[in-house]
Every structure is written in C-alpha cells, then in structure tokens.
Amino acid sequence: MKILNLHGVGNLVYEDREIPEPGENEVLLKVMACGICSSDESRVMETGTYHFPTVPGHEFAGQVVGLGEGCDPALMNRKASVFPLLPCFECEACRQKSYATCTNYKYFGSRNDGAYAEYLVVPAWNLNLLDDSVPYTTGALSEPAAVAHHAAVMSGVKKGDRALVIGTGTIGLLIAAFCQIKGAEVYIAGRRQESLDFAASFGFRTINIRKLRDEVNELTNGRRMDVTFEAVGSNLSLEGAIMSTRSGGTVLVMGNPKGDEALPKDVYWKILRWQLRLQGTWNSAFRAEGDDWKEVAEIMKEGSFPFERLITRKYLLSEGDEAFRFLQDKSVPKSRLMFVMHEEADRLKKEREARQ
Ligand SMILES: [Zn+2]
Ligand SMILES: [Zn+2]
C-alpha cells in the first residue's frame, strides 16, 4: 500500500508499506478519504510530530475490510469514520467516559501513525458507523464536525436564539450549521470578503469583523447576541465576542490562542456587569452521554447540511507536496483540503478528466 510518511519537518515522502494485519478487537480500514487539518499544517511544515517518521492524518473515513479476533462480524464492509484518540481506559477521565480528556492517550496521526495511508488498523471501539448513503468524503469531516457539534452543545444554544460565530474557518462554518439546525438565527463574522461570501452561500447572515460592534447593534436593535462563539483565538475577537453578547448571555471560547489573551479594563467590566457566562469546550464526546459523533452521523444521514461544499480541493495521496503548498498559500481562502484513495481517487481522476 501507499502512505505519506513524514520523515522530518517539511519532508513528506510518498512510499510503500506492507498492509497491516488487525489484532484482537481491531479492524482493517480501507481509508477512502482523509482531511488535512490546520493542525497537520503545523505538524508537517513547522513543529513536526512526536517522533519521525510518522504518518499524519486524523480526520478520516473508510470501509471495514478485515476483522481481527473478537470483532463483531456485522462490522465487515461497513462505512465508518474514526474517533482518532486512543484512550488509556484507566485514568480518572476515562473512568468518567470523558475520553477526550484522557491524561495518557495516544492519537492517530501525531503520536501514532495516521490515515495518510491506503489502509489503517484501528480498534473496533474507535469506529463511528456511518449510513451507506453518506459519502466517504463527508464522513471524513466527522472529526471537525464532532468538535463543532460539541461546542454548539456546550454553549446551550437553543431554538430562537441569536447566535454569532466569530471565525469563518471550517469549524466556524460547522458551528454555524449546527446552531442553524438547532433553530437559532445565525450570524457569522470574519475578515475576508471571499470568506464572508462563502458563509453567506450557506444561508448565514454575515458581519464584517471590522465593524462588529456597530453591525451587531444595528442587526439586533441593540439587543446583541444570546450566544457568541469565539473561534479565532485572538485578543480582538475575544473582545468582540464579549461586546457582542447580551446581558446574561454566553460567550463560548474555543479558538486556539496565538499568544497571551489580555482584555481592556472596560471590556473586562462587561463580563461582570452583564453577568456573562464564559464557557470553554474541548474536543468532543464519544461513546458517552451526548455522543457528538453519533449526532453528527445522524445529521450526515439526514442530509440537512451540504458538508461536501466544505471541501475546497481533493488530492491524490501522491500529491502531498502540492496539497501542502496550496494550504500554505494564504492568498487563497479555503476550507478543508482532503486526500482521497481507492474508488474515491478514481472518481477524482474522472472528475479532472471531465473538466479538461
Ligand atoms: Zn483536526
Ligand atoms: Zn485515560
């Protein structure tokens, strides 16, 4: 089989490896699609992985084509995405079924080899089964979708709420989607006009972040937002999120901070005076109460959101350098880039031929 193996920072090599054998309670997954996360961009191009070489890739879906001992035979041939975190099952967090906060975890695509590979052995426990009607490329969006779904749940957003998402990345758009599905009136704020136009094409109301306070006041008749999501990770957007939220409302904080977060005193005062709730969110719930992955699989099956439109470009596994070069070109706004393999790769080749 073919893999994309990271031998050093910026050194992603397309090479051969033996197809692995599933062990006890493990399955062999034929990987059909694997998203390129922005965290992969820093792993591959800046920071590297825990050790070299490592095969990146943690946002993937495929078909079960082999079963190890002890696996349910009904899993054979099923379509599935994969919870990429491998919990220890022993720490306090794991005992509470809060697997995403396990203190001794492994992870596909960073601590362990991931899914920039045609096949991957995964524990049956990590499978998130998908309906046959869900395209593999949609399924490969399960991980970012589960993270976004968890944020929406943690915010407590409900029908009739006005919800603002600051940030037009893939996660921002997915949060907006889940707020809309929950019946909220959804606004999304960003910097680039192309990104705002793209958000508007999903039916979200858009706000230019440079005029955030004015536009929020104008659009809500001074009542501001019930829930605001900070999905950027900068001082300015945290400040904007606080100032956009109504008295007694919720600010959901989830953007990765690029540095220290500091607030002007008058903004800080608003948290107190307006009795705002600041709520954090981390990863997603899997095989526990409020399983975000199951909810996302259900939404993908219903087809109430066009997930496929979040895929900006698809690449063959042999085109790793090209994909990462495009990812680093910040002059072009983009949502997810994705590697496709096997039948999905054949489909991509046909699409390209048809376009010529
Ligand atoms: Zn990711
Ligand atoms: Zn644990």
Asked if the structure places residue 299 within a domain, the reply is no
Which domain covers residue 323, as residue numbers? 2-140+306-355
Asked if the structure places residue 294 within a domain, the reply is no
282-298 confidence digits (pLDDT tens): 999 999 999 999 999 99
Q: Which ligand is nearest to the CA of 90?
A: 2
For residue 35, report the distance from its CA to the centre of ligand 1, in Å: 8
For residue 126, report the distance from its CA to the centre of ligand 2, in Å: 14
Q: Please tell me the predicted confidence (pLDDT) of residue 60.
A: 98
For residue 356, report the distance from its CA to the centre of ligand 1, in Å: 32
Asked if the structure places residue 256 within a domain, the reply is yes
- Residue 169 is given by DSSP the state S
318 with 255, same domain: the answer is no
For residue 148, report the distance from its CA to the centre of ligand 1, in Å: 11
Among residues 143, 215, 208, 205, the alpha carbon closest in space to that of 174 is found at: 143
Asked if the structure places residue 81 within a domain, the reply is yes
65 with 86, same domain: the answer is yes
For residue 272, report the distance from its CA to the centre of ligand 1, in Å: 34
241 with 273, same domain: the answer is yes
For residue 59, report the distance from its CA to the centre of ligand 1, in Å: 6
Please answer whether residues 161 and 245 qualify as being in contact, where contact means their C-beta atoms are separated by less than 8 angstroms: no
Task: For residue 91, give the CATH number of its domain.
Answer: 3.90.180.10
Q: Which ligand is nearest to the CA of 87?
A: 2
Q: Which ligand is nearest to the CA of 109?
A: 1
Of the residues 233, 264, 280, which one is the last residue of a structural domain?
A: 280
Asked if the structure places residue 315 within a domain, the reply is yes
- Which residue positions in the chain have pLDDT lower than 70? none
For residue 17, report the distance from its CA to the centre of ligand 1, in Å: 24
Report residue 95 as tokens: 């005992």
For residue 270, report the distance from its CA to the centre of ligand 1, in Å: 33
255 with 312, same domain: the answer is no
316 with 237, same domain: the answer is no
8 with 126, same domain: the answer is yes
**Phi, psi (degrees; rounded to nearest 5) at 168:** -110, 20
Report residue 332 as tokens: 């072009």
| Distance between first and last Cα of the chain | 29
Strands 225-230 and 245-253: parallel
Q: Please tell me the predicted confidence (pLDDT) of residue 258.
A: 84
Q: Please tell me the predicted confidence (pLDDT) of residue 50.
A: 86
Asked if the structure places residue 295 within a domain, the reply is no
166 with 209, same domain: the answer is yes
Reported residue count of the chain is 356
188-224 confidence digits (pLDDT tens): 999 999 999 999 999 999 999 999 999 999 999 999 9
Please answer whether residues 247 and 275 qualify as being in contact, where contact means their C-beta atoms are separated by less than 8 angstroms: yes
Q: Please tell me the predicted confidence (pLDDT) of residue 356.
A: 85
Which residues are 3's β-sheet partners? 15, 117
For residue 125, report the distance from its CA to the centre of ligand 2, in Å: 14
Task: For residue 152, give the CATH number of its domain.
Answer: 3.40.50.720
7 with 134, same domain: the answer is yes
133 with 206, same domain: the answer is no
> In sequence order, what are the residues at sequence separation of 6 or more whose Cβ sits closer than 8 angstroms to the Cβ of residue 121?
20, 21, 22, 23, 26, 27, 28, 29, 68
pTM (2 d.p.): 0.96
Of the residues 280, 296, 325, which one is the last residue of a structural domain?
A: 280
258 with 163, same domain: the answer is yes
For residue 101, report the distance from its CA to the centre of ligand 2, in Å: 7
Of the residues 246, 264, 280, which one is the last residue of a structural domain?
A: 280
Asked if the structure places residue 286 within a domain, the reply is no
Dist. CA 109–CA 57, nearest whole Å: 5
Domain count, the chain: 2
Asked if the structure places residue 292 within a domain, the reply is no
Dist. CA 312–CA 340, nearest whole Å: 13
29 with 76, same domain: the answer is yes
268 with 326, same domain: the answer is no
